[in-house]
Amino acid sequence: MSTRVCADADEAVAGVEDGATVLVGGFGMAGMPVALIDALIRQGATDLTVVSNNAGNGDTGLAALLAKGRVRKVVCSFPRQTDSHVFDELYRAGKIELEVVPQGSLAERMRAAGAGIGAFFCPTGAGTLLAEGKETRVIDGRTYVLEYPIKGDVALIGAHRADRMGNLVYRKTARNFGPVMATAATTVIAQVREIVDTGTIDPETVITPGIYVDRVVQEATA
């Protein structure tokens, strides 16, 4: 289905259900879709599983969603940071589940979900705690771990610019997980700084083609 341009972030996140798996873009705050997360807080969905590189920074964005008690489980590579106090308190109080995934496996598992790959053998983590209980195979003398896809019900991503067909352009390292998550969820919602007329983005520079994007919204400019 073609991309819908939403009037505001509340319209963009409408319909997210309790218990959903939500892929949240960003590496730290770079690329974090804060306006969409704030709208999701207002929308009220709870018991969520969030897949993101980190488990919130400071008190805004993903950290704010955690602080509201809406997240049952976080799947991430690097929860512990100098400014992850919201997650740290919830985790130490036993109020949130954590699944730590090596960062490259996190990305590749979502890539697999988006690319129709049923599973893949990956050398990362072989012989470590993070591979415990997972099937392994020795290929050409090296041990690989069988990793399954991570598919989201919803992906919330931040990009720099979109056209009305949902073609996305990112900016610098704020790209990070956006293009991968955009392929890996049933409903993909992008917030951008600017929506431009279709035809004004050079097709050679499109990073996420609009086929992956269901809804797009321009961040409110304060």
Partner 1 sequence: MTTDSPAVDTGRGPLDKHGMAALVARDIPHGSFVNLGIGQPTLVADHLPAGSGVVLHTENGMLNMGPAARGDEIDPDLTNAGKVPVTELPGAAYFHHADSFAMMRGGHLDICVLGAFQVSASGDLANWHTGAPDAIPAVGGAMDLAIGAKQVFVMMTLFTKTGAPKLVPECTYPLTGLRCVDRIYTDLAVFDITPRGVAVRETFGVTVGELADRLALPLLPAA
Return residues touching partner 1 (CB under 8 A). 27-31, 53, 57, 77-81, 87-88, 91-92, 98, 100-108, 110-111, 122-130, 160, 170-180, 207
Q: What is the DSSP letter of 55?
A: S
> Which residue, 108 or 163, is less far from partner 1 as judged by CB?
108
Q: How far is the CB of 13 from partner 1 (least distance, A)?
A: 23
Name the residue nearer to partner 1 (CB basis): 72 or 160. Answer: 160
Please, which residue, 24 or 45, has the CB nearer to partner 1?
24
Rounded CA separation 192/163 (Å):
10
Q: Name which of 138, 174, 173, 160 is nearest 205 in CA terms.
A: 160
* Closer to partner 1 by Cβ: residue 16 or 36: 36
Q: Are 57 and 81 in contact (CB under 8 A)?
A: yes
Nearest distance from C-beta of residue 110 to partner 1, angstroms:
8
Q: Which helix (H) or strand (E) holds 9?
A: helix 9-12
Query: Would you call 219 helix, strand, or coil by DSSP?
Result: coil
State the minimum distance, in angstroms, from the CB of residue 26 to partner 1.
10
Tokens of 221: 């400019």
For 107, the 3-state DSSP assignment is helix
Q: How far is the CB of 122 from partner 1 (least distance, A)?
A: 7
Nearer to partner 1, 16 or 111 (CB): 111
Report CA-CA distances (Å) from 45 to 22, 40, 50, 123, 215: 11, 7, 12, 36, 18
Strand order in the sheet with 136-139: 120-122, 142-147, 136-139
Within 10 angstroms of residue 202's Cβ, the number of other Cβ atoms is 8
CB 42, min distance to partner 1, A: 24
Minimum distance of partner 1 from residue 102's CB (angstroms): 4
Nearer to partner 1, 27 or 185 (CB): 27
